[in-house]
Amino acid sequence: MELSFGLLGFLIVFPLIVAALLLVVRQEAPRRIIVIAAAIVIAVASIALVLGNLGASTTLFALQSEAIDFVCTGISVAIAAVIIGFAVRYKNLWAGLLAAVQIVGTLVLEFVFAHEIEVPYGLYFDSLSLLMTFIIGVVGSGICVYALGYMEDFQAHEPEGAADRRPLFFALMFVFLSAMYVIVFSNNMEWMFTGWEVTTVCSFLLIGYTRTDEAIANAFRQIIMNLAGGIGFLAALYSCALTVGTFSFFEFLAIGVNSPAVVTLAVTALAFAGITKAAQMPFQTWLLGAMVAPTPTSALLHSSTMVKAGVFMLVKLAPVLSVAPAPAIMVMLVGGVTFALCSFMAISQSNAKRVLAYSTIANLGLITMCAGVGSPEAVWAACFLILFHAIAKSLLFLCVGTAEHHIGSRDIEDMDLLFDRMPRLARFMMLGIMAMFIAPFGMLMAKWATLVSFVDARQVALILILAFGSAATFMFWAKWLGKLAGIAGSPENVEGTVKPTEWAALLLMACLLVLACVFLPVISAAVVEPYIFTTYGALGQDISGDNLWLASLCTVVVVAVLFAGVNGRQKSRRVNVYLAGISRDNDSRSFQNALSGTAEASVRNWYMEAIFGESRIAPVGVVFNSLIMVVAFVVAFVVTPIVF
Amino acid sequence: MSLISTLIGTLLFALIAPAVGCLLAGLDRIVSARMQGRVGPPLLQPYYDVRKLFEKERASVNSVERVYVATALLFALLAGGIFFSGGNLLLCVFVITLSSLFFIMAAYSTRSPYAEVGAARETLQVMAYEPMVLLLAVGFYLAAGTFDVGDVLALDAPVITTIWLVFLGLLFILTIKLRKSPFDLSMSHHAHQEIVRGMTTEMSGPTLGLVEIMHWCENVLFLGWIGMFFVWGNPLSIILAVAVVLAVYFLEIWIDNNFARVKWQLMLKSAWAVALAAGGVNIAFLAFL
C-alpha cells in the first residue's frame, strides 16, 4: 500500500515537474529527450500501479492537509484570474463573467462553508481509477511522444517568423496528464474540482494555440461551456456542504445510494458538469471547434483526457443514478439523443477530423446512456467503451494528423489511394476505423453488452436509439473505410518522411488496440469485473466467455487479413478497370471516350446532406436536450431537502 | 454454446449450406422463368455456372479483391455456423455484418466507378436494414428469454406467437438482404435495371464464383432466421418451419419478379419506418406488458 500511495503521488507530481522543465527548454533536442523519457516513466509507473493492484477494491489513503486545501483554492482562483485576463484582452464578456462567478463561489465555499468539513481520506483508487490510469498513462503519454514529430512538421508549415510556442504546448500536455490523475485519484471533491478546472483551462490554452481568430473564438466557446459546467460542479459542492455534510466522494456516493433524495441536486449538478465536459448536446460545439488546434491536442482531448473526465464522473455516479430517477432520466436522454443525432450528422461530413469529432461525441453519448441506466451490466459496457474508444480514437487522430501533413488535406475525399501512397499508415487507419464500429473488435463487443443491458432494464427508447444510431455508424465509417481500401497500382509513396516518433506512437496504439481486443476477457476479469463487484456487490456481465473468445479469434483473423493477407503479390493476370471505353490510366481513372478524347471518371462518397445535414439535425438535439436539463434541475430542486 | 460446437457447426455449414443454397438458387430460376412464361434452366444450372467460373482464367484489377471476398465468405460461413449450432443470435448478426463489410471493401478496392456506386449503395442497404435486424435480435431475446438460438427447442410455443410484428418487419428487410428487386440497388441480377453490374463489376472467374457461393450461404442463413420463428419443443415443428421458409422464399421470388427497383430514398425511409413501427411497437409491448 505504501508503494501504491507513493505511485499515486508520483503520478500527480512528476508530470508537473516535467511541465515546468519543458517550459524553460527551448531547443528541440533536449525537449525530445525529456518528453520521451518522461512519457516512458509515466507509462511504466501507471502500468506498475495497475499491475500491482489488479482486482483491487476501493482503497482509501489517509491524507488531510489544510495546506493542500489552500493550494487547491489558490489554483482555482488563479485559473479564474487567467481566464479573466484573457477575457479582458479579447473582450469576451461571458467568459469573464463566468470566471468571476467562479472566483467568488470558490472563495465563499472555502472560507464560509467548507472550513469545518474534513475529509480524512484525501486520495483513493479503485479498479475504475486504475483503468483510467492505464488510459492516461499509456495512451496519453503516447500522444505526447507523437506530438514531438508532429509539432516539428507543424512549425515547419507555419509562416516565416511565426512565434514558436512549443515549450508552452508540451508543458500544457503534461499538466493535462497531472490534472487527469488528480481527477481520478481524489476522494476529496474539492481537490477533484481543482483538477477539473485545470483540464478546462489547459484545453482552453491548447485550443487557442495558434492564436488565429478562429482558434481564439473556439477557445472561448470551449471555456464558456466548461466554465458553466464548472459552476455546476461548484453548485454540487455547495449542495454537498449544505445537505450531505461531506466532501468525501466515496461517502457521498454511499449516502446517495441509500438515500437518493438527499443528494439529488448534487448528483444532477455533477452530472451536468460531466455532460458539459463530455461535450454532449447542446454543448457539442466546443469539441467540434477544438479541432482547430494541432492534432495531438485533439487526440489528447478526445481519447485519454478531458472528455473522458466527463464520462468518468458520470460512470462514478452510475450507482446513484440507478436509484435517483430525475438525474438518471436526464443523463439517459441527453446521452441517447446525442448518440443518435451525432451519428446521423457524421454521415454528412467529409472533413476527417469532423467525422472523428462527431463519432467521439456519439460514443460519449453511448457511455452517458450506460451511466444513466446505471445497472452493473451497463457500467461493465461503459468501462469497455471508455477503454476501446480511448485507444482507437487516439490511433485515428494520430493517423489523420500524419496523413494531413503528407497529403496536404484532411478531407476524406482526398484520401483516395492512401493505401498506395501511405501503405502502412492506411492500414493503421483502417484498423482504427474497423475497431470503432465492427465486430469482433472490443468497441462493438461493448456495444453489444450495452444493448443487452438496455433490454434488461426495459429501456425501449434507448434500444431504438441504439439500433438506429448504430446503423448510421456503419454508414459513415464504412464509406471512409472504402475510400481507403482503393488500390490502383503505383502512385508515389510519400510515407518516407514520417517521423520515427510518430511511427512509434502509431505502432503503440495499434498494438494496444489489438491486444486489448484479443484479451478483452482477461481485462474484464482483472480490472472491470472487480470494479463492478466492489460497487454493486454483484457481478454483471452479459456476454458469455465463449462468445468473447470467439470474438478474439475473429479479431486475429481480421488483423491478419489487414496486415498480411492483402500484401501478397498478384498471381492472376492484371487487367484494367472497366470504364466504358479504353482505359488510359488506372490511377486517375481516365479512359478514351467516344470522341477519342480523354475522359476522367470521378466518384465521391455519399453525404446525404438533405437528410443528415447539420443544419437540419443539430437544432433538434440542442433544443430537446436543453429542455430535458432544465426540467431535471427543476425536479432536483423540488426533491432535494435543504438543511441549514 | 461452446467454442468447439460453433467451429464444428461452421464446418458442417460450410459443407451443407452451399449445396442447399445452390438448389434454392436453381429453384429460384425455374420459378422465375415460369412466372415470366418461360421453361427455365435445369435445377442444377447455378452449380454448372459456378463450376465454369472456377475453370476460368484468374484475371483481376488488383491483388486484394480476392482476399477480401474470401474473408467475407469465411465470416459468412462462421455466421451460419454460429446460428445453426444454436449459438448467440446477436453474435451471428454481427459476424454477418462483418462479412458484408469485407464484401463492400472488396468492391471499393477495385476503384471501378461502377463498383464504387454499388458499394456505396450496399453500405446504404446495410444502414437501411440494420435497425430491424438488431430489433429482431432484441425481440427474440424478449420472447425466448435468451439470445441462444438453440434454446427455441425448449420453448412451449414458437416465438412467432409473441413477436409476429417483428416477423413482418423481418420479411420486409429480407428483400433487401437477399438483394431482390425492388431493393437490389447494389447489384442486380435483372440486367435491365443495373448500371453495368454494381459491386461485382470487376470480379470475374473464381472470385465471382466465391461471391456466388457466399450469396447461397447467406440465403440459407437468412431463411434460417425465418424458420427460427416457427420452431418450438415439438420436433414436428421443424417440418412446419421448412414449409414456412419455402413459402417465404416463393413470396420473395414473386416480389422480385413483380416490382421495379426503387430509389434509395424510398428504400431507406421505408425500411426505417418499418423497423420503427414493427420492431418498436412489438418490443415496447413485450417490455411493458
Report if pTM > 0.80.
yes
| Partner residue opposite B94 with nearest CB, options A439, A471, A558 | A439
The span from the CA of B92 to the CA of B101, in Å, is: 14
Cell of B237: 415443428
Q: Which residue of B has its CA nearest to A608?
A: B265
pLDDT reported for residue A497: 81
In 3D, which of A497, A313, A314 has the Cα closest to residue A402?
Answer: A497
pLDDT tier for residue B142 given thresholds of 50, 70 and 90:
very high
**A553-574: per-residue pLDDT in tens?**
999 999 999 888 777 777 788 8
Contact B126 A474 (CB under 8 A): yes
How many Å apart are CA B58 and CA B259, to the nearest integer?
36
CA distance A522 to chain B (A): 17
- pLDDT 10s digits, B162-185: 999 999 999 999 999 999 989 988
Handedness of CA A185, A190, A196, A197 (dihedral sign): negative
Q: What is the pLDDT of residues A342-374, one digit of tens each?
A: 999 999 999 999 999 999 999 999 999 999 999
Q: Pick from B134, B142, B268: which is nearest to A470 by CB?
A: B134
Q: Is B51 on the interface with A (CB under 8 A)?
A: no
Positive or negative, the CA dihedral A425, B100, A451, A328 is positive
In the predicted structure, residue B57 carries a pLDDT above the cut 70? yes
Q: How many angstroms separate the CA of residue B111 from the nearest CA in chain A?
A: 5
Residue A44: alpha-carbon gap to chain centroid: 22
Residue B196's pLDDT is what?
Answer: 84
Strands A59-61 vs A573-574: parallel, antiparallel or unpaired: unpaired
Q: Which residues of A touch B275 (CB under 8 A)?
A: 467-468
Percent of chain A exceeding pLDDT 70 equals 99
pLDDT for residue A643: 53
User: CA dist A448 to A108, A437, B66, B288, Å?
Assistant: 47, 11, 30, 22
Query: Cα(B144)–Cα(A330) distance, rounded to whole angstroms?
Result: 32
Q: Per-residue confidence at A490, pLDDT binned at 50, 70, 90? A: low
What is the per-residue pLDDT for A277?
94
With cut-offs at 50, 70 and 90, classify the pLDDT of residue A393: very high
Residue B175 contacts residue B270 (beta carbons within 8 Å) = no
B71:A565 CB<8 A: yes
Q: CB B276 to CB A464 under 8 A? A: yes
Residue of A nearest to B112 (CA): A577
Q: Which among A440, A448, A485 has the least Cβ separation from residue B108? A: A485
Cβ under 8 Å to B: A residues 552-611: 553-554, 557-558, 561, 565-566, 568-580, 586, 589, 601-603, 605-606, 611
Domain ranges of chain B: 3-288
**B59 inside 8 A of chain A by CB:** yes
Residue A482, chain B, CB below 8 Å: the answer is: yes
Residues A248-265 have pLDDT tens digits of 999 999 999 998 888 999
| pLDDT number for residue A591 | 87
pLDDT tens for A425-474 read 999 999 999 999 998 899 999 999 999 999 999 999 999 999 999 999 99
Give the tens place of pLDDT for each residue, B28-53.
999 999 999 999 999 999 999 999 99
Contacts of B272 in chain A (CB under 8 A): 468
Any A CB within 8 A of B279 CB: yes
Report, as an integer, the average pLDDT of A401-422.
87
CB of A408 within 8 Å of a chain B CB? The answer is no
With H, G, I as helix, E, B as strand and everything else as coil, classify residue A585.
strand
Q: What is the mean pLDDT of residues A219-243?
A: 93
Q: Do the chains contact at A440 and B128, CB–CB below 8 Å?
A: no
In the prediction, which pLDDT does A455 show? 93
Chain B residue with minimal CA distance to A606? B120
3-state secondary structure of A441: coil
Q: Which chain B residues contact residue A491 at CB under 8 A?
A: none
Q: What Rg value do the Cα atoms of chain A yield, rounded?
A: 24
- The dihedral of CA A451, A453, A458, A459: what is its sign? negative
Q: What is the DSSP string of A125-147?
A: E-HHHHHHHHIIIIIIHHHHHHH
The answer on pLDDT for A589 being more than 90 is no
Identify the closest residue of chain B to A542 by CA–CA distance: B147
Q: What is the pLDDT of residue B140?
A: 95
Distance from CA of A14 to the nearest CA of B (A): 44
Q: What is the mean pLDDT of residues A488-514?
A: 84
Substitution target from B3, B6, B58, B63 for chain A, most A beta carbons within 10 A? B63
- Listed by number, the residues of chain B in 216-275 with a beta carbon closer than 8 Å to a beta carbon of chain A are 265, 268, 272, 275
| Crossing angle of the two packed helices B89-109 and A442-456, in degrees rounded to 10 | 140
Mean per-residue pLDDT, B89-106? 95
User: CA-CA distances (angstroms) from residue B131 to A112, A553, A621, B180?
Assistant: 54, 26, 21, 19
Distance between CA A65 and CA A2 in Å, rounded? Answer: 18
Contact residues on chain A for B69, CB-CB shorter than 8 A: none
Q: Cell triple for residue A267?
A: 448528483
Q: What is the ipTM of this complex?
A: 0.95
Q: What is the mean pLDDT of residues A400-409?
A: 89
The pLDDT of residue A512 is 94
How large is the average pLDDT for residues A50-79? 89
Per-residue model confidence as pLDDT tens digits over A181-208: 999 999 999 999 999 999 999 999 999 9
What's the grid cell of residue A485?
481500401
For B246-283, what is each residue's pLDDT tens digit? Answer: 999 999 999 999 999 999 999 999 999 999 999 999 99
A580-599 mean pLDDT = 83
- Chain A nearest C-alpha distance from B276 (Å): 8
Q: What is the pLDDT of chain A when averaged over all its residues?
A: 91
Kindly give, in sequence order, each residue whose CB lies less than 8 Å from that of residue B83, ignoring residues fewer than 6 positions away. B89, B92, B149, B221, B224, B225
**Chain B nearest-CA residue for A474:** B127
Are B95 and A603 within 8 A, CB to CB?
no
Q: How many C-beta atoms lie closer than 10 Å to residue A40's C-beta?
A: 12
Show the 3-state SS of chain B: CCHHHHHHHHHHHHHHHHHHHHHHHHHHHHHHHHHCCCCCCCCCHHHHHHHHHHHCCCEECCCCHHHHHHHHHHHHHHHHHHHHCCCEHHHHHHHHHHHHHHHHHHHHHCCCHHHHHHHHHHHHHHHHHHHHHHHHHHHHHHHHCCCEHHHHHHCCCCHHHCCHHHHHHHHHHHHHHCCCCCCCCCCCCCHHHCCCCHHHCCCCHHHHHHHHHHHHHHHHHHHHHHHHCCCCCCCCHHHHHHHHHHHHHHHHHHHHHHCCCCCHHHHHHHHHHHHHHHHHHHHHHHHHC
Are A554 and B90 within 8 A, CB to CB?
Answer: no
Contact yes or no for A572 and B142 at CB 8 A: no
Among A268-272, A307-311, A467-471, A543-547, the range scoring the smallest mean pLDDT is: A543-547
Please state the three-class secondary structure of A37-52 as a single string: HHHHHHHHHHHHHHHH
Is B63 touching A (CB cutoff 8 A)?
yes
Of B167, B129, B275, nearest to A464 (Cα)? B275
List, for residues A618-643, the tens digit of each pLDDT value.
Answer: 999 999 999 999 999 999 988 887 65
Q: Does B155 touch chain A (CB under 8 A)?
A: no
